[in-house]
């Protein structure tokens, strides 16, 4: 299922290179069915594996599934082969906000618009228990209409990452934008740290340069810890006051997002019929429905009970009550094969609905009758994910049957068992 020529899994074509990093390249692509432009991030799985970034990749996917918002870059789906992981992303035609700032300070009303959209997006992330931790102009993209899109959640953290003290402890981020408490290594509130970074971004948008800068990194950290910066004299008094309250080195007294949204400078130029709170609320995520069999995006796959864990694409297979495999056969072919195997094993087939089967044993085991659930999910029209799971009965009986009867009988329709290193390219 590797891309053939410039066609990825019969769904997207992609062409020019948009950018590249150590482990990934980003290409411009197009949905063959809808004609929609997309960005396709191609990650080298071997490189990610070697440097131990598997969990970070998984976390980025999980996080982006939680934050569906008009000012956050959308991840449409994730696909994978033996050697590559493909992120299909919303295409931000306007490029990085950084390129605008690199030319100098922005007009006050333009800077305010971007800041309003940034705060709206960050507030939404925090309401979902997500802390970005690497907010900077390079990670803020613009669409063709000039609207801001927060991107790159590779260093983000979820609420459950907090320790017993309720704080995060991983030091990360870009030095010039990182909050003083992050540098101190004593634990920090992810929301407060993000707010500080938003303040630095606002300073850069209005002033055209960084508030904290020094060729010596330790000296710069000292300036950040003391909030040692100078506000340009040309800044309006209201903006100066707002910045001084956000760039407060004490996270306990630092301005909250709720207070920022109430600020008179911040609220200026907003639609009089709709304040920023309702604007943010209206951008809330839409619930994704899971079809059977239907197209699955990465988040649907990951949320399948203990489900399809992306780590299964590059870690050793571990036998469990639940296994998954991918197949290039049609759903009807897969169903027919499952029914054939069930008949051979003297199991009753109980059809639930399209793409979903339940198999019932005809004998009483040590822990009751064995029930097996089979779910078929369509990733593309010619590529399916199949989940086989024990619902009840004896685990030993189930695993013996899986190993000796079911797996060997499925060989002709299996493209790859998830989690095994014997996958095809």
Of 19-28, 98-107, 290-299, 392-401, the poorest mean pLDDT is in 290-299
Helices (H), 128-236: 180-183, 190-207, 217-225
* Token pair for 107: 């007009």
Return the pLDDT at 35.
Answer: 93
Return the pLDDT at 52.
Answer: 73
Q: How confident is the model at residue 171 (pLDDT cuts 50, 70, 90)?
A: low
Distances (CA, A) of 151 to 91, 142, 208: 11, 10, 21
Name residue 39's beta-bridge partners.
28, 89
Question: Would you say 41 is a known binding-site residue?
Answer: yes
Return the pLDDT at 5.
Answer: 55
Return the pLDDT at 93.
Answer: 92
Q: Is residue 368 within 8 Å of 393, Cβ to Cβ?
A: yes
d(CA 116, CA 242): 13
Distances (CA, A) of 329 to 314, 375, 381: 23, 15, 9
70 CB-side CA count, 13 A: 13
Catalytic residues: 134
Q: What are the structural domains, with CATH classification, of the chain?
A: 7-90 (3.30.200.20), 95-281 (1.10.510.10), 298-417 (3.30.310.80)
The pTM of the full predicted model, rounded to 2 decimals, is 0.65
Which residue, among 312, 313, 333, 307, has the nearest Cα to 425 in the 3D structure? 313
pLDDT in tens, 225-254: 999 999 999 899 999 999 999 999 999 999
| 162-175: average pLDDT | 64
Res 37 pLDDT > 50 = yes
Distances (CA, A) of 328 to 56, 235, 254, 336: 29, 61, 55, 14
d(CA 179, CA 121): 19
The more confidently predicted of residues 406 and 396 is 406
Q: How confident is the model at residue 158 (pLDDT cuts 50, 70, 90)?
A: low
Q: What is the mean pLDDT of the chain?
A: 80
- Element (DSSP H or E) covering residue 125: helix 108-127
* Token pair for 226: 């003391």
E strands present in 9-164: 12-20, 24-31, 37-44, 75-80, 84-90, 95-96, 130-131, 140-142, 148-150, 157-158
d(CA 132, CA 174): 12
* Token pair for 314: 């590059």
State what percent of residues in the chain have pLDDT above 90: 38
Q: Is residue 414 within 8 Å of 330, Cβ to Cβ?
A: no
Res 353 pLDDT > 70 = no
pLDDT in tens, 59-110: 787 788 778 899 999 988 888 777 888 889 999 999 899 989 888 899 999 9
d(CA 365, CA 372): 13
């Amino acid at each position: 299922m590797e891309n053939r020529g410039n066609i990825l899994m019969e769904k997207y074509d992609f062409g020019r290179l948009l950018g590249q990093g150590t482990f990934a390249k980003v290409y411009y692509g197009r949905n063959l069915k809808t004609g929609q432009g997309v960005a396709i991030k191609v990650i080298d799985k071997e490189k990610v594996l070697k440097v131990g970034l598997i969990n970070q990749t998984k976390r980025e996917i999980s996080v982006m599934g939680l934050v569906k918002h008009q000012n956050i870059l959308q991840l449409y789906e994730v696909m994978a082969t033996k050697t590559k992981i493909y992120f299909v992303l919303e295409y931000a035609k306007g490029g990085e906000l950084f390129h605008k700032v690199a030319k100098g300070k922005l007009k006050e009303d333009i800077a305010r618009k971007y800041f309003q959209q940034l705060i709206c997006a960050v507030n939404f992330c925090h309401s979902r228990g997500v802390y970005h931790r690497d907010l900077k102009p390079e990670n803020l993209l613009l669409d063709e209409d000039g609207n801001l899109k927060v991107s790159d959640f590779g260093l983000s953290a979820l609420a459950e990452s907090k320790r017993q003290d309720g704080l995060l402890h991983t030091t990360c981020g870009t030095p010039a934008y990182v909050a003083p408490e992050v540098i101190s290594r004593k634990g920090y509130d992810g929301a407060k740290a993000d707010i500080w970074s938003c303040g630095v971004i606002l300073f850069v948008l209005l002033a055209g340069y960084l508030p904290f800068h020094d060729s010596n990194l330790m000296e710069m950290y000292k300036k950040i810890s003391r909030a040692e910066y100078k506000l340009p004299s040309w800044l309006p008094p209201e903006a100066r006051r707002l910045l001084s309250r956000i760039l407060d080195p004490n996270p306990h007294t630092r301005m909250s997002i709720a207070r920022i949204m109430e600020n008179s400078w911040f609220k200026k130029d907003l639609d009089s019929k709709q304040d920023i709170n309702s604007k943010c609320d209206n951008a809330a995520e839409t619930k994704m429905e899971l079809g059977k069999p239907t197209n699955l995006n990465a988040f649907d796959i990951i949320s399948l009970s203990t489900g399809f864990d992306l780590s299964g694409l590059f870690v050793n297979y571990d036998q469990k009550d639940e296994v998954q495999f991918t197949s290039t056969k049609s759903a009807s072919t897969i169903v027919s094969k499952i029914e054939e195997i069930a008949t051979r094993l003297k199991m009753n087939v109980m059809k639930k609905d399209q793409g979903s089967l339940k198999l019932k044993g005809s004998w009483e085991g040590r822990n009751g009758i064995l029930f097996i659930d089979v779910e078929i999910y369509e990733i593309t029209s010619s590529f399916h994910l199949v989940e086989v799971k024990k619902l009840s009965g004896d685990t030993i009986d189930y695993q013996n049957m899986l190993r000796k009867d079911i797996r060997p009988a499925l060989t002709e329709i299996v493209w790859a068992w998830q989690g095994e290193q014997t996958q095809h390219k």
